[in-house]
């Protein structure tokens, strides 16, 4: 998303709903990461919020390298009041602040009435989005991160190529290997991936498919020996086997500079599947493509015939730093994010809020993507690792996803990978709050 800073000011002697007297200018700083959705929607949301709040001035700062932009001020003690910055970013700024108890608790935001409307935030929010470690990182029943733009993830492919070849989309991993062997005879690889970071949703879906929600949650809370179980072994071995079917140029391109070259493989019919989210459509909208190209999405294959298949739901998070100066105003602004007005601005740029009825407004490809859960065999998966006290050198993302390149290139066996994951899990379990 876009890095931006919102500045709210008011001017009279009477206090407004945010606690500022109208005779003084109040500044509310909101920083957000720019993504494929672009900047326009933030300008529109800012203007609409200003129109609802007399005397409010909004300033925007939108950057793709948000962490670099705001870090110097934060180190000097100047924090934004609201941040739109998801977890699982390379800089891990959000995770760092979570570990340092640097986020404000915002459970009460969801009981607030949406500004300009009659419903509360929780009445409008889709179920399950505030019942995950991605929003409640301390597993204490309290919410610290608000779910924002959400996207079903899965394996993206060219529907046109499958129709041309008469190929069926695999429902199981066994069918995947069979298709991989068939495609290889035509010079097409079964698999590629943009960067190892995209394995977060792939591995999460595979974990659900292997052992259900109980196994997934055990891993997220670092249960002793969880990565040595048969369920974990099944996931890691499957990824190791997937290396045999991965396009040979993938690892070399799997970096922030060249990752679109791997995504281009799908558009050029050089690879069949890649893990991604719906944002890839806008990200690659100007890229050349095969004549028969049409985006398709499928859930991660099941491990057995007729087994459950999962599509991980990725969502971005908005939160308030514990050292923010204007927390009440920040909470009001977050509540506004779930208004019909704000949601429409976001939707026009391709960003979908987890609000009841929003998917009914989608068209064409987007509607197809978000209807993935209408298949009875496809279930949503959500969640992330529980927060712990900082442990030097122990980062689950680095070992679980960051080592995938080494697995894919044959430098690391699944057993070595498994041992390193369990070692880090043990260290983090000892540091649980």
Q: What's the pLDDT tens digit per position in 164-219?
A: 999 999 999 999 999 999 999 999 999 999 999 999 999 999 999 999 989 999 99
Give the total residue count for the chain.
433
Percent of all residues in the chain with a pLDDT value above 70, rounded to a whole number: 93
Confidence of residue 433 (pLDDT cuts 50, 70, 90): low
Query: What's the pLDDT score for residue 376?
Result: 64
pLDDT of residue 15: 43
Q: What pLDDT, on a 0 to 100 scale, did the predictor assign at position 26?
A: 73
pLDDT of 232-265, one tens digit each?
Answer: 999 999 999 999 999 999 999 999 999 999 999 9
Q: What does the pLDDT read at residue 175?
A: 98
So what's the pLDDT on residue 13?
40
Q: How far apart are CA 417 and CA 218, in angstroms?
A: 19
Fold of 30-150+313-362: D-Maltodextrin-Binding Protein; domain 2 (3.40.190)
The CATH homologous superfamily to which domain 153-312+385-430 belongs is Periplasmic binding protein-like II (3.40.190.10)
- Say what the pLDDT of residue 6 is: 35
Q: CATH 3.40.190.10 region(s) of the chain?
A: 30-150+313-362, 153-312+385-430
CB under 8 Å to 177, separation ≥6 — which residues? 241, 245
386 confidence band (pLDDT: 50, 70, 90): confident
Q: Residue with structure tokens 């709903």?
A: 17
Contact at 8 Å (CB) between 50 and 58? yes
Assess whether pLDDT exceeds 50 at residue 2.
no
Separation between Cα atoms, residue 259 and residue 279, nearest integer Å: 14
With beta carbons less than 8 A apart as the criterion, state whether 254 and 193 touch: yes
Q: What distance in Å separates the CA atoms of residue 38 and residue 419, rounded to the nearest whole number?
A: 41
Is the per-residue pLDDT at 120 higher than 80? yes
């Amino acid at each position: 998303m876009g890095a931006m800073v919102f500045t709210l000011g008011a001017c009279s002697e009477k206090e407004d709903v945010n606690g500022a007297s109208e005779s003084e200018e109040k500044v509310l700083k909101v920083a957000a990461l720019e993504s494929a959705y672009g900047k326009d929607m933030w300008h529109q949301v800012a203007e609409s919020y200003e129109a609802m709040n007399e005397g409010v001035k909004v300033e925007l700062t939108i950057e793709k390298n948000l962490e670099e932009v705001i870090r110097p001020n934060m180190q000097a003690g100047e924090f934004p009041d609201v941040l739109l910055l998801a977890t699982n970013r390379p800089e891990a700024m959000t995770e760092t602040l979570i570990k340092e108890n640097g986020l404000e608790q915002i459970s009460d935001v969801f009981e607030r009435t949406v500004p300009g409307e009659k419903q509360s935030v929780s009445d409008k929010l889709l179920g399950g989005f505030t019942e995950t470690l991605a929003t409640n990182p301390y597993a204490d029943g309290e919410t610290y991160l608000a779910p924002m733009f959400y996207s079903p993830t899965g394996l993206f492919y060219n529907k046109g190529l499958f129709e041309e070849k008469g190929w069926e989309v695999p429902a199981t991993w066994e069918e995947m290997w069979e298709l991989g062997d068939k495609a290889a005879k035509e010079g097409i690889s079964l698999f590629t991936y943009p960067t190892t970071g995209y394995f977060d949703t792939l591995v999460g879906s595979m974990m659900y498919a292997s052992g259900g929600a109980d196994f997934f949650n055990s891993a997220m809370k670092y249960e002793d020996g969880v990565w040595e179980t048969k369920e974990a072994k099944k996931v890691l071995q499957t990824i190791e086997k997937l290396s045999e079917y991965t396009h040979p140029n993938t690892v070399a391109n799997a970096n922030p500079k060249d990752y679109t070259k791997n995504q281009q493989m799908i558009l050029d019919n050089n690879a069949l599947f890649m893990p991604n989210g719906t944002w890839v459509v806008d990200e690659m909208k100007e890229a050349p493509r095969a004549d028969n190209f049409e985006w398709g999405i499928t859930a991660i294959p099941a491990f057995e015939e007729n087994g459950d298949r999962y599509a991980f739901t990725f969502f971005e998070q908005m939160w308030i730093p514990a050292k923010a100066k204007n927390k009440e105003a920040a909470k009001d602004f977050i509540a506004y994010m779930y208004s019909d007005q704000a949601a429409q601005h976001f939707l026009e740029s391709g960003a979908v809020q987890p609000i009841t009825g929003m998917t009914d407004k989608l068209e064409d490809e987007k509607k197809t993507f978000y209807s993935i859960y209408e298949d009875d065999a496809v279930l949503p998966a959500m969640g992330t690792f529980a927060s712990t006290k900082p442990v030097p050198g122990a980062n689950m993302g680095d070992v679980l996803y960051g080592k995938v390149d080494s697995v894919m290139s044959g430098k690391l066996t699944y057993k070595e990978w498994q041992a390193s994951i369990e070692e880090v899990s043990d260290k983090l379990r000892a540091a649980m709050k």
